[in-house]
Amino acid sequence: MPSGIHHVTAIAGSARRNVDFYTGTLGLRLVKKTVNFDDPGSYHLYYGDGAGHPGTILTFFPWEGAPPGRLGIGEAQETVFSVPEGSIGYWTQRLIEKGVAHDPPAKRFGETTLAFKDRDGTRLALAGVRGAEAAPGWSATDAPAEHAIRGFHSVSLLLAEAGPTAAILTDVFGFVADGREGLTQRYRAPGVEVGGLVDLRTAGEFLMARQGAGSVHHIAFRAADDAAQAAMVKKLVQDHHLRTTEQKDRNYFRSVYFREPGRVLFEIATDPPGFAVDEPVASLGQALKLPPFLEGRRAAIEAALPKLD
């Protein structure tokens, strides 16, 4: 069974501004409000569709005052969401009304695509996809549900050379080559409707990335369960001489991490248990949730976090 994108995690500045943009402007649902388990003084905010399905989840580590990152080799260049084919006009108008910097819509691989940036400079795009309206969406705001974002379309990685990263995508995650446009080689996870595309952009000799606000921190790929994850880890070691971290319990999924040969940080995250493990689907994202090992420090953690409303 091929994998696909599970979630994308990026770095932001102000947490409140981040919530305003992703729920207010883009209409995503805040599906989990928790802290960075490795740095509990800062939030970890998760946005997605109504239930937080894998393949719809964009997450942020907001660090107030984080200096801006610089795009370069060895990182994700752009995160693209799917919207219905006829919705690009609506979104173009909405971005204009909200004062969001964007490019004119352009064709990519035959689809009309609208590229824009969030308030930290995170590079995003909406691709108009035929049939996207069949997938579940969420509209947290005044944006009509018919135009809502339907999860990830693709991520693009900026690389010195595509081959070594492509080998991981095809051999470990089950992607197949799916066409080329200019310097971009597309890979597709067959049968994966949401978050099934990765574009590799070859930049040759270019500056290395410097992470900061607006940068993608890592990309997580899906594993159906622990056994599927273990099989991928074994393949990475045996066939690619790449070691992952030990498995970490992220409460909503279980993860291993490794730096792929093109220098992008990859994660393999299990689909289970999902975001309803510690609060009902109906009230996802409303209360600050902490993992059991941090509950005893809740009062201090809450006092130190910036207010979101």
**Residues at the interface with Zn ion (CB under 5 A):** 9, 220, 267
Cβ of residue 40: shortest distance to Zn ion, in angstroms?
16
Cα radius of gyration (the chain): 18
Cβ of residue 187: shortest distance to Zn ion, in angstroms?
20
- By the 8 A CB rule, do 11 and 79 touch? no
**Cβ-based nearer residue to Zn ion, 7 or 108:** 7
Cβ of residue 21: shortest distance to Zn ion, in angstroms?
20
Q: In what order do the strands lie in the sheet with 176-181?
A: 106-108, 111-117, 123-129, 75-84, 152-159, 197-202, 184-188, 176-181
Across the chain, how many H-helices and E-strands are there?
Answer: 6, 16
**Cβ-based nearer residue to Zn ion, 43 or 91:** 43
**Cβ-based nearer residue to Zn ion, 203 or 220:** 220
Cβ of residue 199: shortest distance to Zn ion, in angstroms?
20
Closest CA to 128 of 80, 192, 84, 194: 84
- By the 8 A CB rule, do 253 and 270 touch? yes
**Cβ-based nearer residue to Zn ion, 116 or 173:** 173
**Cβ-based nearer residue to Zn ion, 191 or 272:** 272
Cβ of residue 7: shortest distance to Zn ion, in angstroms?
6
Q: Report which DSSP code applies to 190.
A: T
Closest CA to 145 of 94, 102, 84: 84
What are the two backbone dihedrals, phi and then psi, of residue 239, each rounded to the nearest 5 degrees? -100, -20
Q: Report which DSSP code applies to 50.
A: T
Is residue 144 classed as helix, strand or coil in its secondary structure?
Answer: coil
**Cβ-based nearer residue to Zn ion, 127 or 220:** 220
Closest CA to 127 of 89, 86, 80: 80
The single-letter code of the amino acid at 10 is: A
Cβ of residue 177: shortest distance to Zn ion, in angstroms?
26
Cβ of residue 64: shortest distance to Zn ion, in angstroms?
21
**Which residue shows structure tokens 């995503």?**
28
**CA–CA gap between residue 100 and residue 242 (Å, rounded):** 40
**Cβ-based nearer residue to Zn ion, 53 or 108:** 53
